[in-house]
Amino acid sequence: MAMAGLSFIIGRTDIIKASKNYPTRSYYCNLYLQYEYFEKTGEMHFTPPVQTVYATIQALKEYFQVGEEAKFARHRRVYEAIRKGVEKMGFQTVIDPKIESGLVVSVKYPDDPNWDFEKVHDYCYERGFTIYPGKISTTNTFRLCSLGNIDVKDIEDFFVVLDQALKNFGIKLK
């Protein structure tokens, strides 16, 4: 539940040190330079993403406060509620639930000329919900995610708003 943009590196120190002699592809993303600077100063080589670091610290506190099993159980409940809502409304998904991550559901755009992702997104957003644009290059999709401090009631409320958006824009699901 932290912000994107911070990565942990777990690796063998000898390999990281050996990378000093590898061709430099990126000064900013050079793992050896970051490692060397951190060893010398205890700080990041460049200006750190302060808000991301603090968000990660908070997310870790909450993770250990709630516990792994309870956190995963909530994500699973929310994921199942998303799947149930998608199916009930008649949307089609891209990835078979048997192999899906259990965190994100990729939903195909309806085959309706009235469908406009931006309009549906904005309608939902103005009412407190966000749908994410899809990242599949071969299929037009949007994504629904079970991450964040949400639970089943939030998902049920979202599908009420999504249904209102479809009716508002005259979008029919087949």
Sorted by where each begins, the domain ranges of the chain are 13-66, 68-168
> Does the pLDDT at position 97 exceed 70?
yes
97-111, 116-130, 158-172: the lowest-pLDDT one: 97-111
- What residues does 137 pair with on adjacent strands? none
The CB density around residue 131, as the number of other CB atoms within 10 Å, is: 19
Q: CA separation (Å) from 6 to 16, 57, 75?
A: 18, 11, 22
CB atoms within 10 A of CB 172: 13
Q: Are 53 and 4 in contact (CB under 8 A)?
A: no
Quote the mean pLDDT of the chain: 92
In this predicted structure, the answer to whether residue 153 has a pLDDT above a threshold of 70 is: yes
Which CATH superfamily groups domain 68-168?
Answer: Aspartate Aminotransferase, domain 1 (3.90.1150.10)
End-to-end CA distance of the chain: 35
Please indicate whether residue 60 or residue 154 has the higher confidence score (pLDDT). 154
Query: How long, in residues, is the chain?
Result: 174
Q: Is pLDDT of 48 > 80?
A: yes
